[in-house]
Amino acid sequence: MSHISGVRQARKEKTRQALLDAALELLEGQSLSSLGLREVTRAVGIAPTAFYRHFRSVEDLGVALVEEALGSLHPMIRTTVSTTGDGEERIARAVGLIAGHVDAHPAHVRFIARERHGGVRAVREAIRGQLELFTAEVGEALASDAVSAGWGEEDLLMLAQLYVDQMLMTASLLLEAAAEGGPGERERVAGLAARQLRLISVGRAHWLDLPGGGG
Which residues sit at the interface with a copy of itself, rule CB under 8 A? 28-31, 33-34, 110, 113-114, 117-119, 121, 124-125, 128, 155, 158-159, 161-162, 165-166, 169, 172, 176, 180, 192, 195-196, 198-207, 209-210, 214-215
- Round to whole Å and give the CA distance between 150 and 152: 7
Nearer to a copy of itself, 22 or 54 (CB): 22
What is the smallest separation between the CB atom of 144 and a copy of itself, expressed in angstroms?
19
What is the smallest separation between the CB atom of 210 and a copy of itself, expressed in angstroms?
7
What is the smallest separation between the CB atom of 215 and a copy of itself, expressed in angstroms?
8
What is the smallest separation between the CB atom of 45 and a copy of itself, expressed in angstroms?
24
Nearer to a copy of itself, 45 or 211 (CB): 211
Give the distance from CA 66 to its chain's centroid.
8
Nearer to a copy of itself, 96 or 203 (CB): 203
Q: Nearest 5°: phi and psi at 145?
A: -70, 145
Nearer to a copy of itself, 44 or 109 (CB): 109
Nearer to a copy of itself, 54 or 156 (CB): 156
Of 169, 84, 77, nearest in space to 130 by CA: 77
What is the smallest separation between the CB atom of 44 and a copy of itself, expressed in angstroms?
21
What is the smallest separation between the CB atom of 124 and a copy of itself, expressed in angstroms?
8
- Round to whole Å and give the CA distance between 70 and 65: 8
Positive or negative CA dihedral for 26, 7, 53, 46? positive
Nearer to a copy of itself, 13 or 154 (CB): 154
